[in-house]
Amino acid sequence: MRRANVSAAAALVFKRDLTLALRRWDEVTQPLIFYVVVTTLFPLATTPDLAQLRTISGGVVWVAALLSSLLALESLFRSDVEDGTMEQWVLSGQPLAWLLLSKVAAHWILTGLPLVLISPVVGTALGLPFDAWGTLVLSLLLGTATLSVLGGIGAALTVGVRRGSVLLSLLVLPLAMPLLIFGARAVSMQMDGDSPAGPLQLLAAIFFLALSLGPLAMSAAIRISVES
Amino acid sequence: MGPDAAVLEARAINVWRGERHILRDVSFEVHPGVFMKLTGPNGVGKTTLIRVVCGLLPAESGEILWRGKAVRSASEQFHTELAYLGHPNALKADLTARENLRFLAGLRQSLEDSDIDRALDRVGILSRGDLVARSLSAGQKRRLALARLLLADARLWILDEPATNLDVAGVTLVEDLIAEQVAGGGLVLAAAHQRLLDESPITERLELS
């Protein structure tokens, strides 16, 4: 036997979460169903007139994506902390930040990416024009990935708290506001015929900031959470 | 012994939980070839001490030293030489016994299938290797956690009630594993309230009160 390197360890965490998700399929699909249901309810509650819906379609899709991502985040670290796996990760001698980032990446693939992929369909049902698809998908790609990292920090902080979901929303929602504003704005600028490059670049900047600092914050928060 | 000798040392550890002063100036040394058995009644702070030594819980004062260096400043090196078995077994109910080992012990060592089979065989659950952990009995789960210990290839073992849920044969297995680890120049620190290697010459006792 020889010591496993960091990338092998991170890959194991990633693979493990995908394996687990395949065996608990119902839990993983829940946010996606929520997303589709919420966006479908909108035309029923407001107006079936596509011309009117079109003006709010980008915003509705973005709000729904934000909320369903939050819904999926609450239990991100819970079972690993409760069954003692997290302690073993902390003591594994591998950098905890990398293991957690790998876990968050798996989580995004399972919950964030499906939202992004289905969003053109959902958007079209709300009258989103075809030429805004690209902007919507790109903004949601950056937005949901950033949200997974931000939510990971929140989930790591609230993992020891009973009924932590309210606290998690309070922590993460303010941080997520810029994403919502820039994301929805990019889509509406595209629909108005303007270039959405500005808000998209801001989203990308926030994403890389979260990606570089988020894992360190997560690992610090997890170390506090396993103390109890 | 030189300054780099594999010695675990605790110096004047103090831990408070709220108003309660749980650990009061606890000091001890564990040398290679020694099984340090931590005893004392329930609630006396055995688990707390174990978590402090591992670095999972910070102590209010005092220091843990490994190879003469404070582990707080060199925790990564300490953790690569440390295998910890806590109260929870750290198993995923939806993964098979083999997968559990591959995904957790594999974080430390690059494992071949034969390594995993050998460890499962040693703890007596090789025939259960492809069952999901949820269908194992409590004792079998503990044995699986012990298999992870074997795969960690660590110099220092820190165990919290290693024989929980085990039958008589299982307790003997734990004793054998500890004796083997110690005979190979390893160190073992374990909290245990039941009999565990009580008459053995390798055993030293630390009684918390």
Q: Say what the pLDDT of residue B174 is.
A: 95
Residue of B nearest to A13 (CA): B103
Q: What pLDDT band is residue A28 in, cutting at 50, 70 and 90?
A: confident
Instruction: Tell me the chain A residues in contact with residue B150 when contact means C-beta distances shorter than 8 Å.
Output: none
Q: From the CA of A190, how many Å to the nearest CA of chain B?
A: 45
Cβ-defined contact of B89 to A4 (cutoff 8 Å)? no
CB neighbours of residue B157 within 10 Å = 23
The two structure tokens encoding residue B79: 């953790």
Contact A26/B at CB under 8 A: no
**A195, A179 contact by CB (below 8 A):** no
Q: Name all contacts of B120-125 with Cβ < 8 Å and 24+ positions apart.
A: B120/B144, B120/B147, B122/B147, B122/B150, B122/B177, B123/B147, B123/B150, B123/B173, B124/B169, B124/B173, B125/B97
- Give ipTM to 2 decimals: 0.94
d(CA A7, CA A9): 5
DSSP per position, A135-197? HHHHHHHHHHHHHHHHHHHHHHHHTTSTTTHHHHHHHHHHHHHHHHHHHHHHHHHHHTTS--H
Asked if residue A118 has pLDDT above 70, the reply is yes
pTM flag (> 0.90): yes
Beta strand B8-17 with B61-66 is: antiparallel
Phi-psi region of A134 (alpha: psi -120 to 50; beta: other; left: phi over 0): alpha
Instruction: Tell me the chain B residues in contact with residue A1 when contact means C-beta distances shorter than 8 Å.
Output: 109-111, 115, 151, 153
Q: From the CA of B82, how many Å to the nearest CA of chain A?
A: 8
Q: What pLDDT band is residue B43 in, cutting at 50, 70 and 90?
A: confident
Q: For tokens 């606890």, name the residue.
A: B26
Residue of A nearest to B110 (CA): A4
Instruction: Report the range of poorest mean pLDDT among A176-180, B48-52, B84-88, B191-195.
Output: B191-195
- For residue range A42-94, list pLDDT tens digits in order: 889 988 888 889 888 999 999 999 999 988 888 899 999 999 999 999 999 99
- Interface test with chain A among B52, B77, B107, by most A beta carbons within 10 Å: B107
Contact B100/A at CB under 8 A: no
Contact A24/B at CB under 8 A: yes
Q: Say what the pLDDT of residue B72 is.
A: 85
Asked if residue A160 has pLDDT above 90, the reply is no
Beta strand B8-17 with B156-160 is: unpaired
Alpha helices in A74-109 (DSSP H): 78-82, 85-90, 96-107
Q: What pLDDT band is residue B2 in, cutting at 50, 70 and 90?
A: low
d(CA B46, CA A21): 36
